[in-house]
Structure 1
Amino acid sequence: MLALPAAAGYDCLIEPTQTVELGAPVAGLIDRVLVKRGDRVTHGQVLASLESHAEQAASDLARYKSQLAGPSQLAQSKIEFSQRKYNRRRDMAAEKLMSRQDSDDAEGELKQAQAELLVAKENREVAHLEYVQQSSQLNLRTIRSPFDGVVVDQMMWPGEIFEPGATKHAIVKLAQLNPLRIRVVMPMRAFGEAAVGMTANVVPEIQPGKPYTAKVVSVDRIIDAASGTFVVFMDLPNPGLDVPSGVKCKASLGKQ
């Protein structure tokens, strides 16, 4: 990669874009941890899970109830029968072959059957909402990766009890290494040299002969009075994870 022209180099540090410790929002027995330190993970990948047999059973039951079609079909059949009965009695009452009361009774049966169908549909919708709720509760017991990254550490193991807010408040620790975040410490006299969108050369301490191109994403607007410095943040693409984080570097500004 060709170096960009630069007037001076500044001390910098290569860091992960973000580092997070992951756990579950509920307490429970850790059932599985599917990754280990150093593993690469993708967004949405299952990393660990808590024991969830009871929650799985409740979710399956709620799903079964939400799929029941019998009550609706029964109510629909009653409507069809009541409709034919009402039509016959209405016609007979119109020809004075039956009392008006019998026709009214048939009409009442029809409306009752229609109401039963409405209740059956409402119950099925309630069952569906209960299934969604139970599924959400089940999902709380599965820990997934929030981004593409690398497992930095594993703090808990299968068989341990996980409790939010306890001393061990995380199961695994992840770091996002693509892109990398470059923290550049610049002297007060250099304020104004860096601007968002500007490119820069970054040379890692462990690869002094191999510069990389980064882009400025943030510039501090507050200068630290004690040290007379401010910080500039850059993003360095790292799709192959060729550049490690946690090492010092030198950064020289290029052009916007």
Structure 2
Amino acid sequence: MRLLPFLLLPAAALAQSTKPAAPAAPAGYDCLIEPNQRIEIRSPTNALIDRILVERGSAVKAGDTLVLLDGSVEREALAGAQQRAESEAELRVARARADYAREKFRRREDLREQHYITAQDRDEAQAELRVAEAELALAVDNRRLAGIESRRLDAVLKQRALKAPFSGVVTDRLQNPGELAFTGEGSRPILKMAQTNPLRVEVVLPVSVLGQIKAGRPAEITPEAPLKGSWQAQVKVVDRVMDSASGSFGVRLELPNPGGDIPAGVRCKVRFL
């Protein structure tokens, strides 16, 4: 019976040696590399598609023309409005009539003072002057309105050239020249685009690391095989609303991609530095 303590010690030591070790910190969290944004290029009005200057997979820069819509009607209307805005003929005629009516009224006023004509004749001349001055003001307004109309038509005509809002890649082409493009959310888009610089990296983290991940923190992104290498990213958004069901929250990182070498839609691992 006195040997019992000696028998218990190895058992305690054995229990201590077989105690499971604490789990190691993860080497990285699963993430997904996605385009910074995706958009659909639609027509601002119902118009015939004249030309499409890009294809699926084309790399474009911000401001590049992607689609040309038919603008023949607007071009003719613009030419007419510009002609009216630049024309001096109507204005010269109105000024001449006003000058003549003014001089006629002056002469009738002198004759009236000398009692050579009646007051009615003088009043008729004054009325003619007022009409001539109103026509002159109308001519000035018409020319100004023609200038406004020409600028409006020029803006409408510029909308017939659909341009890239950012640098990226054309991901799909859904319509062809000769088809009618309709406006509205329910209409079929002409093109689809994705912004590839910068890319965004989406990752879901457990609540246990809440407070450790803050905006501006650097991270290392490692893509899945067969891609190789790693890239530096930076935390941009940390969700303030947690998912109680899974005990997690979302984080968005920004991954620079100036050369377009990093593909989007790739799974990856993120390790916060």
Q: Shorter-chain TM-score category?
A: 0.7 to 0.9
- Asked whether 1:44 is paired with 2:63, we answer yes
Structure 1 equivalent of residue 242 of structure 2 = 223
Structure 2 equivalent of residue 161 of structure 1 = 180
Aligned sequence identity (%): 39
Structure 2 equivalent of residue 185 of structure 1 = 204
Give the total of aligned pairs: 249
Structure 1 equivalent of residue 218 of structure 2 = 199
- Asked whether 1:25 is paired with 2:31, we answer no
Distance 2:124 2:184 in 1: 64
Secondary structure of the 2:55 match is coil
Q: Render the CA deviation track for 1:183-211: whole Å, top value 9, x for unaligned.
A: 12212212222222322222333587643
TM-score, normalised on structure 2?
Answer: 0.78
1:65 to 66, 79, 84: 84
Closer/same/farther in 2, CA of residues 168 and 102 from structure 1, 3 Å limit: closer
Q: CA deviation at 1:233?
A: 0.7
Work out whether residues 24 and 142 of structure 1, in 8 Å CA contact, stay in contact via their aligned partners in 2: no
Q: CA deviation at 1:115?
A: 0.5
Distance 1:165 1:82 in 2: 55
Quote the RMSD (CA, aligned, Å). 2.9
Closer/same/farther in 2, CA of residues 28 and 96 from structure 1, 3 Å limit: closer
TM-score, normalised on structure 1?
Answer: 0.82
Written as runs of structure 1 = structure 2, the 5 A alignment for 1:103-142 is 103-142=122-161
Higher RCO by CA contacts (8 Å cutoff, separation 6 or greater): 1
Secondary structure of the 1:72 match is helix
Structure 1 equivalent of residue 268 of structure 2 = 249
2:94 to 75, 89, 110: 75
Specify the code of the residue in structure 1 equivalent to 2:137.
Answer: L
Specify the code of the residue in structure 1 equivalent to 2:190.
Answer: I
Q: Which runs of 5+ in 2 are unaligned?
A: 1-24
Secondary structure of the 1:83 match is helix
Distance 1:166 1:87 in 2: 65
Specify the code of the residue in structure 1 equivalent to 2:260.
Answer: L
Work out whether residues 8 and 253 of structure 1, in 8 Å CA contact, stay in contact via their aligned partners in 2: no
Q: Render the CA deviation track for 1:17-59: whole Å, top value 9, x for unaligned.
A: 1011212133333221011122222223221123332333233
Structure 1 equivalent of residue 3 of structure 2 = none
